[in-house]
């Protein structure tokens, strides 16, 4: 029974009308709220990230810095978290004390909710937040074979990281696998029409 319901939901989710109707409904009615996580969101974030109760408790007890160097961007449908991403200052940049480069990581929207514009809303909120922090770039690492995600990021103003910027981030290049690329969004964004 459960497999049948899952199969039906997947078919509905893959239908074009579902994506068009769902995106329109979410955007027009503003059903999803995008915001920075606060300390009181720790329980909901733990439930969203971990299935195992022990992992949830470990996350909640971990000293999280919700405001200084790491920010969780949440997509909430009423009181339920339905998507998230993390933005953080680069370790080397933090040591220099310059707020120039922030990194977007951990963008996640459950598969049943993909294609509804939730990921785009999260990235837009991350861009707004890094602009308010006076950042010059919002960067991310993505698998070069993940073409739908790369298309989304390019639509939002991300481009392959320029050579001079790449060379100044050698510490990141050292950790990069051959399947990954770095995309960078110069701030403020100049979107092409």
User: What is the residue-level pLDDT of the chain in tens, covering all 193 positions?
Assistant: 556 655 665 665 566 656 565 656 565 556 788 999 888 888 888 888 888 989 888 887 776 555 567 889 999 888 888 899 999 886 554 444 455 788 898 899 888 788 788 899 999 999 999 998 888 889 898 999 999 889 989 999 999 876 556 666 666 667 778 888 889 888 887 655 4
Among 101, 107, 95, CA closest to 184: 101
d(CA 126, CA 186): 13
CATH 3.40.630.30 in the chain: give the residue spans: 32-186
Asked, as a colleague might, if the bond just before 188 is cis with ω within 30 of 0, I would say yes
CATH topology of domain 32-186: Aminopeptidase (3.40.630)
Is 141 in contact with 173 (CB distance < 8 Å)? no
Percent of the chain topping pLDDT 70: 67
d(CA 14, CA 129): 32
């Amino acid at each position: 029974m459960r497999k049948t319901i899952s199969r039906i939901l997947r078919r509905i989710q893959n239908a074009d009308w579902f994506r068009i109707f769902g995106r329109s409904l979410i955007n027009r009615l503003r059903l999803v709220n995008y915001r920075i996580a606060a300390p009181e969101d720790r329980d909901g974030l733990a439930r969203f990230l971990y299935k195992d109760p022990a992992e949830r408790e470990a996350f909640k007890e971990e000293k999280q810095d919700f405001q200084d160097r790491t920010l969780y961007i949440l997509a909430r449908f009423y009181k339920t978290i339905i998507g998230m991403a993390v933005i953080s200052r680069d370790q080397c940049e933090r040591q220099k004390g310059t707020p120039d480069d922030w990194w977007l990581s951990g963008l996640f929207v459950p598969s049943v909710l993909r294609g509804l514009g939730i990921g785009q809303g999260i990235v837009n909120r991350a861009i707004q937040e890094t602009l308010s922090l006076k950042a010059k770039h919002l960067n991310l690492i993505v698998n070069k074979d993940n073409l739908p995600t790369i298309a989304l990021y390019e639509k939002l103003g991300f481009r392959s990281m320029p050579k001079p910027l790449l060379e100044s981030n050698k510490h990141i290049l050292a950790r990069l696998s051959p399947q990954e690329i770095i995309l960078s969004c110069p701030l403020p964004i100049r979107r092409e029409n």
